[in-house]
Amino acid sequence: MRRTGIPHVVNSSGERISLHRVDLCDRRVLEDYLQSTLDASPELLPVEELDTSFTPLVSLGREIISIDNLFVTPGGRLVLVETKLWRNPEATREVVAQLLDYASRLSKFSYVELESEARRAMGDAPIGEGSLYELVASRFPEEVLQESRFIDEVQKCLRDARFLLLVVGDGIRENLEDLVDLLHRQPQMLYKLALVEMQIYENPEAFAGRMVLPQVVASTTEIVRAVVRVKTTGTAEVSVAIEEQPEKGGSPGRRTLSEEVFFDELPDECTRRLFRRLLVFAEEIGAVPGWRASSVSIQLPDPGGSKQMLTLFLMHTSGHVDIGWLPGQLERVAIEREIGVEFSERMAGMFSGITTHKSFEGGLSRRIT
């Protein structure tokens, strides 16, 4: 059973400030607030608790084919969110059915059609006049796949309906037993579903803004789904498989290098020696390596205490070192951009033959070969 207490803020002088649950009298206002908040801050969604292959999130905008919020990851996965505020338990069933319908419609889209619909998002579409890939690469340049592979992964995600579906709101009931029949109506779809409660608190007399507390209420990891796959190459072949749930902490569908494999895949011994020296340098300054599919990202935690990791440089199995992400990341956490510019310029000065990163010409990003 979930238990909810009332949050308080204690300032540096020990003064306690009580927060109050936001009144749900105007559902439309709060649903709009939730949608706009998630659009601006996708990190509020506790996706890592459900499946790390659906992280990190980039917002494609609101009201795309009627989906409240639509997100994509650097690995080409899609997350659909429907926001609702209610007190009626039956509303859970209704909104889940609606979300499954949206997922079914989206699964019929091609990559090009998805990109086109993203430009029709409510208000100022995040994609603007650019491409879907450019949007994701601008937010997570160190994690995004190569463009051709990214497009393939998005297309595969659409075809298989390999989505993460989130019902997000306040007052969500946690019983999923009545939803089992709904979850089995689309056995060809490889989606995962979760209910996420967003408790909203405020104290306008003490400070501006609101406190949002996200919590996973329930997910389909608690329900075994049978997935039907139909292959029509030659004679039609139908197979039914019971999805196995990954172990906690796993990241299905996304390869993560180990240090040993990373160094084995480097092109020559000279590169191995250089990269080992760079790893030692990183350790000496307190940076941590983030092992990815084909690279390792050297990062420092934000000294201001946010969850933002600041990327100093990336080392790729191809033998390249990418720099230049730091200035923009510092700017986002209210630290002087020039510190990152100076670091990038000094590091670039250690090497000869640097070239502009092909995806970010005109920027500070450079590829050291």
Backbone phi, psi, residue 237, to 5°: -130, 125
Within this chain, do residues 195 and 265 fall inside the same structural domain, yes or no? no
pLDDT at 67: 96
**Are the C-beta atoms of 203 and 31 separated by less than 8 Å?**
no
Alpha-helix residue ranges (DSSP H) falling in 190-336: 259-265, 269-284, 326-332
Instruction: State pTM to two decimals.
Output: 0.62
CA atoms in the 13 A half-sphere facing the CB of 104: 12
164 and 282 together in one domain: no
217: left (phi over 0), alpha (psi -120 to 50) or beta: alpha
- How far is 299 from 306, CA to CA, in rounded Å? 14
What is the residue type of 265? E
- Encoded amino acid at 307, one letter: K
The answer to whether residue 247 sits within a structural domain is: no
- Mark whether 213 and 304 lie in a shared domain: no
291 in Cβ contact with 254 (< 8 Å): no
pLDDT in tens, 275-324: 999 999 888 888 988 887 778 889 998 888 777 788 888 888 888 787 87
Does 249 reside within a domain? no
In a domain, 138, yes or no: yes
Same domain, 232 and 299: no
- The predicted-structure confidence for 345-365, as pLDDT tens digits, reads as follows 887 777 666 655 554 444 445
- Average pLDDT of the segment spanning 135-164: 90
Residues 56 and 205 in one domain: yes
1 domain residue, yes or no: no
Q: Are residues 104 and 52 in the same domain?
A: yes
Q: Say if CB 227 and CB 241 are below 8 A apart.
A: yes
Q: Work out the pLDDT band at 225, boundaries 50, 70, 90.
A: very low
Q: What is the pLDDT of residue 33?
A: 86
Is 209 part of any domain?
Answer: yes
Q: Do 15 and 75 fall within a single domain?
A: yes
pLDDT at res. 26? 57
Among 242, 274, 295, residue at a domain's last position: 242
Instruction: Give the number of C-alpha atoms closer than 13 A to the C-alpha of residue 22, restricted to the C-beta side.
Output: 23
Last residue of a domain, one of 200, 215, 242: 242
Residue 5's nearest CA partner among 173, 180, 199, 288 is 199
The number of domains in the chain is: 2
**Pick from 44, 343, 18: which is nearest to 215 by CA?**
44
Q: Which of 216, 242, 268 is the last residue of a domain?
A: 242
* Inter-residue contact 302 to 333 (CB < 8 Å): yes
Question: Within this chain, do residues 79 and 107 fall inside the same structural domain, yes or no?
Answer: yes
Tell me if 206 is assigned to some domain: yes
Residues 47 and 127 occupy one common structural domain: yes
Whether the predicted pLDDT of 90 surpasses 70: no
In a domain, 251, yes or no: no
Domain span at 82: 8-242
Q: What is the mean pLDDT of the chain?
A: 78
Q: Residue 192 pairs with which residues in a beta bridge?
A: 164
Q: Is 253 domain-assigned?
A: no
